[in-house]
Amino acid sequence: MQLLCIDPARNHEFWPHVAPLLKAALARTNLSRFEDIEVDVLSGAGLLWIAWSGQIEAAATTALIQTNTGTICVLTACGGRGMARWLALLEHIEAYARNEGCSALRIFGRKGWQRMLKQYQATNIVLERKL
């Protein structure tokens, strides 16, 4: 299994193959709109990553954001099958973020991510009240 960062000029070629994985993941969390992720990736504002084992096992997207204290890499979406097989590939995205001068990799996702990623800490919470 390997992690591939897709050349932004070729994102449109891969998007039809990864869109269902990402759309399903975003539907479970409702943390962002699929269409916004799609625009970012297809415009080159965000990066597309795939876990590859001869076929696409998972896909993720990232974006760099500026905060008052520096640059953060945000994992904006991640979806796929067989997480245990590809979760360790996250270290490659962490390496990319370090090389870009980021002070952290931030993940928005389901609570289950925290159980899987012991080296990550919950620094903030999202509170929601249905209206």
Q: Domain 2-116: give its CATH code.
A: 3.40.630.30
Report the pLDDT value the prediction gives residue 125, as an integer from 0 to 100. Answer: 65
Report the pLDDT value the prediction gives residue 127, as an integer from 0 to 100. Answer: 57
What Å distances lie between residue 123 and 3, 23, 48, 105, 107, CA to CA? 27, 26, 25, 12, 11
Return d(Cα 85, Cα 73) in angstroms, integer. 23
Return d(Cα 40, Cα 92) in angstroms, integer. 21
Report the pLDDT value the prediction gives residue 60, as an integer from 0 to 100. Answer: 97
Domain ranges of the chain: 2-116
Per-residue pLDDT in tens (0 to 9) along the chain, 131 residues: 999 999 999 999 999 999 999 999 999 888 899 999 999 999 999 999 999 999 999 999 999 999 999 999 999 999 999 999 999 999 999 999 999 999 999 988 777 777 778 887 877 666 566 77
